[in-house]
Amino acid sequence: MDPIEEWTNAQRRVVELVAGLTAEQAATTVPACPDWTVRDLFSHMVGLGADVVAGNEPDDHGAAWTQAQVVARRGRDVASLVAEWEEVADPLRAWMRANGPRPLGDVIIHEQDLRGALGVPGGQDTAGLIAVRDRFLPRFAAAVDGLPPVALRGGTWSWDSGADPVVVVEASDFDLARALVGRRSAAQLRSWTTRGDVEPYLSAFATLGGLPDRDLTESARS
């Protein structure tokens, strides 16, 4: 897996996704990031790349930093944001070659957040998504350390925290990958539990803050 190639592929998919949006679509609230619209979330994605290249990157990636990226781009249309992102792409790829592929996580996670808001599925079976899942899995493993063994069972992928799991969560590979980045609700996780009580494990799935209040999906809208 070449993380820079995966970042490039994800950027291309996102640009294709947002390039033709109407003003109404761009103003759609993103369920996974309910304080932001589609344009706001895209502004953050663009701003993150620009800030990383500029060396303006705090250790905590806190809310003030991400919100500043959105505020700085208020009033700009999607086309101008696409142009800025494409301009910063080569410097960001050079930064990743020198410093590591951390920005891959942001584009992979938020691509799916945008798709969920717009009801346009895609990018669900990529090496980049698998890489991000595997990057977040140790956080989950650390959070369940000390609890009785738990298993995650997908269609082709599975993971156990120990022998003879007392709790089993079964869903598609994609849904489990999204759950590990905090993009599935407690209700969804409960509905996928085929053995035991998932309740003590729910907080472990909140790897990027609290679990969403509502069920999230990236499927096509009917």
Helix (H, G, I), strand (E, B) or coil at 34: strand
Mean pLDDT of 95-105: 96
Distance CA 191, CA 77 (A): 40
What phi and psi, each to the nearest 5 degrees, are found at residue 134? Answer: -70, -25
Structure tokens, 49: 């790349």
Tens-place pLDDT, residues 191-202 = 999 999 999 999
CA-nearest of 135, 136, 169, 173 to 156 is: 173
The Cβ of residue 40 has, within 10 Å, a number of other Cβ atoms equal to: 22
> Tokens for 64?
């003030």
What is the average pLDDT value for the chain, to the nearest integer? Answer: 96
Residue 185 · residue 212 · CB < 8 Å? yes
49-91 per-position pLDDT tens digit = 999 999 999 888 889 999 999 999 998 999 999 999 999 999 9
Q: What is the pLDDT of residues 14-36, one digit of tens each?
A: 999 999 999 999 999 999 999 99
The string of DSSP letters for 52-104 reads HHHT---TT--HHHHHHHHHHTTT--HHHHHHHHHHHHHHHHHHHHHH-STHH
- pLDDT number for residue 69: 97
pLDDT at residue 129 in the model:
98
Do residues 41 and 114 lie in contact, with contact meaning Cβ atoms separated by under 8 Å? Answer: yes
Per-residue pLDDT averaged across 209-217, rounded?
96
